[in-house]
Structure 1
């Protein structure tokens, strides 16, 4: 029984390390998104850090339109980034969970 407990603790520690490594890797995963007409382009990381915004000159003439474009396009990019982030971390956590009888919520 003690050996099983040590094995589980080791597996949990290994999973924590994998989760941290995955979090670091997700900082480098880039998601590109653009407005439907391509006038605004944004790049964010899978950790929701904005890396780049490219604005067509014609959008600079209408502040209100530019603001709308920014909100819509950034929200789409953040939604994609969040989905990637959550899926990657869930996969690592699920893969690394020890088999504990009666605790099969990750299966």
Structure 2
């Protein structure tokens, strides 16, 4: 039994390291999003860090319109980044979990 606990502790440490490496890798996974008319383009990492914002000059003429574009487009980009992030981290966590009956349902 003590060996099983030590093995699980080793597996946990290995999984923690894999999660750390995955988080670092997700800094280089870029997600591009743009408004429906292409006037605003945003690039964000899978860790939800904004890398760039490009906008058509016409958006600078209407503050309210620009704010609306930013909110809508940033929210879409963040949603996509969150999905990628959660999927990648869940895969690493699932791979590192000991085989406990019924646990698969938590990772679907």
TM-score range (shorter-chain normalised) is over 0.9
Q: Give 3-state SS (helix, strand or coil) of 2:47's partner.
A: coil
Inter-partner Cα distance in structure 1 for 2:67 and 2:91 = 36
Q: Which residue of 1 aligns with 2:12?
A: 12
Please state how far the C-alpha of 1:6 moved relative to its aligned partner. Answer: 1.3
**2:21 paired with 1:26:** no
Structure 1 runs not aligned, ≥5 long: none
Q: Give 3-state SS (helix, strand or coil) of 1:47's partner.
A: coil
Please state how far the C-alpha of 1:58 moved relative to its aligned partner. Answer: 1.1
Q: Give 3-state SS (helix, strand or coil) of 1:19's partner.
A: helix
Q: Give 3-state SS (helix, strand or coil) of 2:103's partner.
A: coil
State the aligned residue count: 105
Point out the structure with the larger helix share: 2
Q: Give the TM-score normalised by the residue count of structure 1.
A: 0.92
Flag as ranges the 4+ runs of structure 1 deviating above 4 A: none
Q: Give the TM-score normalised by the residue count of structure 2.
A: 0.91
Q: Which residue of 1 aligns with 2:44?
A: 44
Q: Which residue of 1 aligns with 2:94?
A: 94
